[in-house]
Amino acid sequence: MNARLCLAVLAGWLAAGPALAEMVTYRFDPLHSQVWWEVRHFGTSTHRGRFDAAPQGSIGIDREAGRGEVSLTLDTASVSSGVAALDTMIRGPGFLASAANPSAWFVATRFTFNGNAVAEVRGEFTLRGVSQPLSLRARNFACRTDAVLQREVCGGDFEAELLRSDYGSTFGIPFVSDRVRLLISVEGIRD
């Protein structure tokens, strides 16, 4: 190849710029996705529960560009503490207000990566019709090829803390803690 042809090829390659990185989408697998909560009760023990309905949504990851997006929706009426009377109270207006706000959701586009693994996701959580910033910290995150599905599966365990008073839930404070810890375990199947 002569020098002019080499320069022409190089100039064309540089003009084209870097190839656009690809956002890969993973839909949450309802069999392997769950959200739990923890709250201190009268300063002594910790009440724990979960949302029985699996979270709905997806996560998009662009590892090359170091970006992502997530959308997660929770059915607030599916809250379960293991005590029916307490579940009724938690669904009520003093806590989740499930009748007026049947869903809570988290949306985010600010991702931090540790290599190829998601380390943190920062976005906005909406509960009781009130939206506040929330950060989900990854306790672990990994991807694998599922032998049965013959598709890539990515997932991990995330944790976050919020003040329920920021969302208008003040019933029982300080006897029932204002601080709530969320534990989110999700696996997504690549589209």
Fold of 21-190: Lipocalin (2.40.128)
pLDDT at 20: 55
Encode pLDDT of 149-186 as tens digits.
Answer: 899 999 999 999 999 999 999 999 999 999 999 999 99
Are 50 and 34 in contact by the 8 Å Cβ rule? The answer is: yes
Paired strand residues for 156: 141, 186
Encode pLDDT of 97-143 as tens digits.
Answer: 999 999 999 999 999 999 888 999 999 999 999 999 999 999 999 99
**Torsion sign over Cα 75, 79, 80, 84:** negative
Provide, rounded to the nearest whole percent, the portion of the chain with pLDDT above 90.
83
What's the maximum distance between 2 C-alpha atoms anywhere in the chain?
83
What pTM did the predictor assign?
A: 0.85
For residue 59, how many other CB atoms are within 10 A of its CB?
Answer: 23
Are 131 and 100 in contact by the 8 Å Cβ rule? The answer is: no
Encode pLDDT of 39-61 as tens digits.
Answer: 999 989 999 999 999 999 999 99
User: 100-128 burial, b if ≥16 CB within 10 A, otherwise e?
Assistant: ebeebbbbbeebebeeeebebbebebbbb
Are 156 and 116 in contact by the 8 Å Cβ rule? The answer is: no
pLDDT at 119: 96
- Chain-centroid distance of CA 171 in Å reads 26
Is the per-residue pLDDT at 7 higher than 60?
A: no
Encode pLDDT of 71-102 as tens digits.
Answer: 999 999 999 999 999 999 999 999 999 999 99
Paired strand residues for 50: 36, 80
Place of tokens 């084209």: 16
Alpha-helix runs per DSSP H in 30-122: 84-91
Output phi, psi for 88, to 5 deg: -60, -40
For residue 142, how many other CB atoms are within 10 A of its CB?
Answer: 13
